[in-house]
Amino acid sequence: MVIDFVASTGRTATTYLASVLNDLDGVVGCHEGYVGSDKSREPLLPLINLENAQAYALDKAAERIVAEKRSRTVLEPIWHSIDSNRIIDVAYYNSTLASALLSQNPESRMVAIIRGCEGFVRSATTLEGEDPLPVGWPRPTKELTNREKFIAMGRIRPRKGTKEKSMWAEWSAISRNIWLWKETNRLLIDAKERFPDRVCLCRFDTFKTNPSLFWRVVSDGLKLDLGETPPQSNCDKFVNKKPTGYQIGEYSTWTDYERHSLEVSEKYIEERANYDC
């Protein structure tokens, strides 16, 4: 009985990935704890909501959270309740918990997906109106709905005593989401370096431009049988499009400070990332 994981910043077709994995024989694919991303049913796995921020902010919190919600002791009765011995959990919060998940589940494997910084920031940043998929930080002065406030409580932010924390109040939504992108992906790279034989690091661009390669790496990394015809990236019905579309312009329209932050952050991630595809 094994649980494997897919992790990313979010906004990387994770709903679609969970649905594809759930269609494989012998596999139960979950999206943030829900089988096949179906949130009309009760979640299969214990939900992880605000714990994402706790895992980032407090030393040892990630280990405690995994022990309470993703340990073998917790998962054993779940395995016995389903007709499968294989669960794959796809979730953005797996990034913050990545090393703890793999440490406490020594048979588990992980696929980590990194999207380009500009694409993530443009997709995740909301300036006005309700964001039905609030992955990133909104405009600091934006009035939030109760749902947005609740989800924001679980979003990571700079630790106390850091340079980034002292600058946080002055940062725009773009700057905050550049930081969010860098820190989330840093944690994925940390897990890859700590468990090199159990983590596959994939570019989101590969998923879009070369789906055959992407799925071959995923199937090898997770030890899956995808059959003779691997899935293609025709996932339009699973795409979580914002009703208002992108609310910020392209990189060229950002401030000098925002562009510099992106360049520094992307350089840091690219220099450390050891991609499998």
pLDDT band at 230 (very low <50, low <70, confident <90, very high): low
> What's residue 225's pLDDT?
84
> 176 and 155 in contact (C-beta within 8 Å)?
no
Q: Residues 156-198: pLDDT tens digits?
A: 999 999 999 999 999 999 999 999 999 999 999 999 999 999 9
CA angle (247, 34, 42) in 5-degree steps: 120
> What's residue 214's pLDDT?
94
Q: Is the pLDDT of residue 235 over 60?
A: no
pLDDT band at 241 (very low <50, low <70, confident <90, very high): low
pLDDT band at 242 (very low <50, low <70, confident <90, very high): low
State the SS3 of 77-140. HHHHHCCCCEEEEECCCHHHHHHHHHHHCCCCCEEEEECCHHHHHHHHCCCCCCCCCCCCCCCC
Q: Tell me what percent of the residues of the chain surpass a pLDDT of 70.
A: 94
Q: Is the pLDDT of residue 249 over 80?
A: yes
> 184 and 56 in contact (C-beta within 8 Å)?
no
The per-residue b/e assignment along 36-72, b for 16 or more CB within 10 angstroms, e otherwise, is: bbeeeeeebbeebeebbbbbbeeeebbbebbeebbbb
pLDDT band at 229 (very low <50, low <70, confident <90, very high): low
> 182 and 156 in contact (C-beta within 8 Å)?
no
Q: Is the pLDDT of residue 28 over 60?
A: yes
Q: Residues 50-107: pLDDT tens digits?
A: 899 999 998 799 999 999 999 999 999 998 899 888 999 999 999 999 999 999 999 9
> 90 and 17 in contact (C-beta within 8 Å)?
yes
The closest alpha carbon to 202, from 183, 190, 189, 184, belongs to 189
Which domains can be identified in the chain, with CATH numbers? Answer: 2-272 (3.40.50)
How far apart, in Å, are the Cα atoms of 218 and each of 37, 105, 193, 257? 19, 19, 18, 37
> What's residue 268's pLDDT?
98
> 276 and 197 in contact (C-beta within 8 Å)?
no
Q: Residues 113-152: pLDDT tens digits?
A: 999 999 999 999 999 999 988 999 999 999 999 999 999 9
